[in-house]
Amino acid sequence: MPLERILVPVDGSHRSEAVLRPVSTLAEAFSSAVMLLHVVERYVDHDDGEVQAEALSREESALALASEYLEGLATALRQRGLAVSTHVLTGRAAPAILESAQRLAASLIALTGRGRGLVPGVSLGSVAARVATASHIPVLVVKAHRQGRLWTAPRRFRSVLVPLDGSSVAEAALVHAEELARRLEIPINLVTLLPAPAVVPLGENSIILWETESPAQRRLEKLASDYLESQARRLQTKGLQVQWRVALGPAGSGVLHFAERDRPCLVVITSRGRSGPARWLGGVAEEVLRRCPMPVLVVPAAGADSRSGSMGMSTGEGGSVG
């Protein structure tokens, strides 16, 4: 996972600038170049010449102010020894960010999950969601938290959390997690979630869709444990510190629980991974991206094999199922 060039869109709000804290850490660890980007949204678009001239004049003023704003941010980053460039353009935010990432050969896009936006009605939260789901390169989405009058985000992480569902698509996240753990010198935590008991009422009766005390459940727990243990052992042979857990319950809530427990952590998850025995990772990625208070690195699954693998999960560490 070479992070040679990190594209960082900011919208002018202090909240959007919180992403610079973890970006600084990553750039230092990977010797990455940081590319700051601001997109000036076109607020009025009309064929009338007079209206168009006024809109273009105001656009030019906004571009000049945006350039000055980015240079201020760049100066602070350069004082940390980072290589920083600034880029300002007009357009619609999400497409402009994706196009810039391709044009500038970015290896990572990093942005805050929610921001003010330059014009009314433009939320960086919606922009982040569009970018994360459409990008062909990894996207780091950071949730800013208010600390007094300031917005902040974790600068450093205690661990890397990787949800797995048994598919090779989900395993695409491991390549990135491995390099992050090595460069940042932190452990990796693997987690997968097994089905909880499911009972559906039908009038005076009910149907048990899944029972956790059944032989099938015990078989699934064994498959899950063996699978996660094999992944953990493989990473441990490379000198990495790895723990693994198999848990019961809704996958999204389970991932969020472990992210909260291990905070500040970095969650690494593939954007789509519905091919394994649990077939849940695609929807979980969306939920985690929306609700997780910790930074989430979304890895595109494009090009990954979609075959199923064996599967593992547990609430214990090192091989217990509970």
The Cα–Cα gap between 245 and 293 comes to 21
Strand 139-142, strand 296-299: pairing: antiparallel
- Exposure on the CB side of residue 258, measured as CA atoms within 13 A: 32
**150 vs 25, 128, 300, CA distance in Å?**
19, 21, 32
Strand 242-248, strand 205-210: pairing: unpaired
Co-location of 181 and 83 in the same domain? no
Co-location of 141 and 165 in the same domain? no
Q: How many angstroms from the chain centroid is the CA of residue 162? A: 11
- The string of DSSP codes covering 15-36 is HHHTTHHHHHHHHHHHT-EEEE
If you ran DSSP here, which 8-state letter would residue 167 be given? B
Point out the domain boundary residue: 152, 176, 205. 152
At residue 108, the 3 state secondary structure works out as strand
Co-location of 43 and 170 in the same domain? no
Does a structural domain hold residue 78? yes
The Cα–Cα gap between 129 and 111 comes to 10
Does a structural domain hold residue 95? yes
Co-location of 146 and 207 in the same domain? no
Which has more confidence, 320 or 253?
Answer: 253
312 is written with which tokens?
């593992």
Co-location of 9 and 141 in the same domain? yes
Lowest mean pLDDT among 101-110, 182-191, 253-262: 253-262
Range of the domain at 60: 5-152
Residue 271: pLDDT band (50, 70, 90) is: confident
Per the DSSP assignment, residues forming a β-bridge with 7 are 35, 109
Per the DSSP assignment, residues forming a β-bridge with 111 are 141
pLDDT tens profile 11-37: 999 999 999 999 999 999 999 999 999
Co-location of 27 and 127 in the same domain? yes
pLDDT at 39 (0 to 100) = 93
Does a structural domain hold residue 99? yes
Co-location of 23 and 96 in the same domain? yes
Co-location of 238 and 141 in the same domain? no
The Cα–Cα gap between 162 and 167 comes to 13
Does a structural domain hold residue 317? no
The mean pLDDT of 119-129, rounded to a whole number, is 59
Does a structural domain hold residue 308? no
Buried b / exposed e along 27-50 (16+ C-beta atoms within 10 A)? bebbebbbbbbbbbbeeeeeeeee
Beta carbons within 10 angstroms of residue 236's beta carbon:
12
pTM for the structure as a whole: 0.84
160 and 258 Cβ atoms separated by less than 8 Å: no
pLDDT at 53 (0 to 100) = 63
Beta carbons within 10 angstroms of residue 204's beta carbon:
5
pLDDT tens profile 174-228: 999 999 999 999 999 999 898 877 778 888 888 887 787 888 888 989 999 999 9
Task: Please state the domain count of the chain.
Answer: 2
Lowest mean pLDDT among 39-53, 140-154, 158-172, 206-220: 39-53
State yes or no: pLDDT of 145 exceeds 70.
yes
Beta-carbon contacts of residue 306 (< 8 Å; ≥ 6 apart): 167, 168, 169, 275
Question: What CATH number is given to the structural domain containing 289?
Answer: 3.40.50.620
